[in-house]
Amino acid sequence: MNYAELAKHIEAIEGAAVIGSVSSERFPLYRIRCGQGMPVLLSGAVHGDEPAGAHALVEFFRNHSARYEDKFAFTAFPCVNPWGFEHEQRGNEQGLNLNREFKEDTTAEEIKLMLSLISRYRFAMDLHESWTGASRVPGAAEPDGEDPNEFFMWEICKDKEQRVGATIIQRVRAAGLPICTWPKIFNEVNTEGVIAYPEAIATPCYAQGTSFDAYSERMLTEHSFTIETSREWPLEKRVLADIISITTMLEACLESGQQAK
């Protein structure tokens, strides 16, 4: 699917709007806003060669969000990197890895547009895909190390009692999808598919705090996620894992709200 086709699907979603255009090709950058209640931030395709997050967010707002819109106010950027999506490139037209550009002095126009429009959220979730050695685009092996061909995630939440990663893992596994159980991923401690920050941080490029999840936890929310499916899987399985991740966290928020009452 090219970006024009994806854009048609995004435009059909109620609450979708163009917030600007990016790259020399002036691709429209979209934001989706709908619902009322606890604010939630969702994003996909920060890396243009990881398209499943964009497809998952289209699927979520088409077929799943309605049952949550009386409890949550959604803000979503379904495809952060339109140029990369169109050209199947990790970075944007300038070759920037947008997941290192979440900082106030960024030169990436995509990130400038986003940062001007986001505020505080109950949680933030960014949808990514991992590349194995066989499928990775040459020159895109950042950070150093081998990518799993299984589901895993980063969860940033200082309050360990509020963490939901283990429940997400349980539900993804119950759907028949494989979970990475390596002791370490990129030299960071992996606990049955969850790399929990701040205690597990060990990768220098992540320690800089300019990835979307780190920026979100520092500036926008106390709870953020990066979800990783595998590019080796069929698209429908990657989308399924992303939908499970989103809905599991939404349900956890509702449950914690009921318990607080």
> Which residues 6+ apart lie within 8 Å of 226 measured at CB?
125, 126, 128, 153, 154, 211, 212, 213
Residue type, 29: L
Q: If we measure between CA atoms, which residue out of 185, 192, 183 comes closest to residue 147?
A: 185
Domain that holds residue 154: 3-260
- pLDDT at position 131 is 82
Give the CATH number for residue 223.
3.40.630.10
What are 69's strand-pairing partners?
Answer: none
Residues in the chain: 261
* DSSP letter assigned to residue 108: -
* DSSP symbols for 170-202: HHHHHTT--B---SEETTEE-BTTEEEETTT--
Question: Total domain count for the chain?
Answer: 1
Instruction: Give me the amino acid identity at 206.
Output: Y
Instruction: Per-residue pLDDT tens, the chain, 261 aa: give them.
Output: 899 999 999 999 999 999 999 999 999 999 999 999 999 999 999 999 999 999 999 999 999 999 999 999 999 999 999 999 999 999 999 999 999 999 999 999 999 999 999 999 999 999 999 987 544 444 444 455 678 999 999 999 999 999 999 999 999 999 999 999 999 998 899 999 999 999 988 888 888 889 999 999 999 999 999 999 999 999 999 999 999 999 999 999 999 875 543
